């Protein structure tokens, strides 16, 4: 097939897709049903743990946590086929990633009583001490350079052995609520003491996702979807 014919066919296919999308009613605006930037202790209702910390450079967040589970329960019922959940995950100090000694440093996120959406490892180390991490792959499915996929590195002001050591990952998921409700878990495993390895959560937002027909047209439907938004 010539390149011209191929381009024509692609243009026609795009036109069909756009026509199909145009057949749907204009989507309603998304509603924010929960938002908390943790500033001034503003964590919102629904958390199983309430401690906040202020990073050395001034950012306030929910944490620091170690080998523990933190849950969040949405306090109001929602009438939406899909919710978009986003948050910043803080990986603080010397996480060891995939190494067998002193052991993998694991982070997990998901729906209580439902699917685990993230089960991976992270690595933060000083230059010359690089260790692989699984993220952005699942645990056991990759050896990636430390800080792979991070939106910011060494911006919170934490130090370990006299060197900066922290990373921020912005996570976004599409999740189907259960009977209008949502209960999430965040947890870490394999960490050493808080002064060595810890984590936190910041800038949590949950909003409705309108126009489920458009999602279905795009092949998403009610499937749980993970995507990441890189900052500029």
pLDDT band at 150 (very low <50, low <70, confident <90, very high): very high
Terminal C-alpha separation, the chain? 39
pTM over 0.85? The answer is no
Q: Which pLDDT value is given to residue 27?
A: 46
pLDDT of res. 28: 55
**Residue 5 vs residue 51, higher pLDDT:** 51
Categorize the per-residue pLDDT at 215 as very low, low, confident or very high, splitting at 50, 70 and 90.
low
Check pLDDT > 50 for residue 84. yes
Q: Could you give the CA distance from residue 53 to residue 64 in angstroms, rounded to a whole number?
A: 6
Task: Report the DSSP pairing between strands 197-208 and 60-65.
Answer: antiparallel
Of 22 and 122, the one with more pLDDT: 122
Average pLDDT on 104-118 reads: 98
As a whole number, mean pLDDT of residues 46-74 equals: 98
Residue 6 to residue 14: CA distance in whole angstroms? 12
pLDDT at position 117 over 50: yes
Contact 94, 197 (CB under 8 A): yes
Structure tokens at 38: 């943790």
Q: 230 near 151, Cβ under 8 Å?
A: yes
78 contact partners, CB below 8 Å, separation of at least 6: 33, 177, 180, 181, 182, 208
Q: Is the confidence at residue 6, as pLDDT, over 50?
A: no
> Mean pLDDT in the chain?
84
Q: Which of 110-119, 173-182, 213-222 has the lowest mean pLDDT?
A: 213-222
The predicted pLDDT at position 159 comes to: 95
The answer to whether the peptide bond before residue 78 is cis (omega within 30 degrees of 0) is: no
């Amino acid at each position: 097939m010539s390149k011209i014919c191929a381009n024509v066919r692609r243009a026609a296919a795009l036109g069909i897709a756009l026509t199909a999308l145009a057949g749907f009613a204009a989507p309603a605006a998304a509603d924010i049903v929960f938002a908390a930037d943790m500033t001034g202790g503003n964590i919102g209702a629904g958390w199983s743990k309430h401690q906040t910390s202020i990073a050395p450079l001034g950012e306030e967040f929910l944490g620091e946590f170690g080998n523990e589970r933190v849950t969040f329960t949405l306090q109001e019922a929602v009438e939406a086929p899909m919710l978009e959940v986003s948050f910043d995950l803080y990986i603080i100090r010397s996480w060891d990633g995939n190494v067998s000694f002193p052991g993998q440093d694991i982070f997990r996120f998901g729906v209580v009583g439902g699917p685990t959406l993230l089960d991976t490892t992270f690595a933060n180390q000083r230059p010359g001490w690089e260790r692989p991490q699984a993220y952005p792959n699942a645990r056991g499915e990759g050896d990636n350079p430390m800080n792979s996929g991070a939106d910011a590195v060494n911006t919170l002001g934490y130090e370990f052995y006299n060197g900066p050591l922290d990373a921020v990952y912005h996570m976004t998921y599409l999740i189907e609520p259960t009977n209008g409700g949502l209960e999430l878990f965040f947890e870490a495993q394999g960490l050493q003491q808080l002064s060595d390895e810890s984590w936190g959560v910041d800038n949590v937002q949950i909003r409705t996702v309108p126009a489920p027909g458009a999602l279905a047209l795009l092949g998403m439907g009610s499937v749980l979807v993970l995507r990441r938004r890189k900052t500029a």
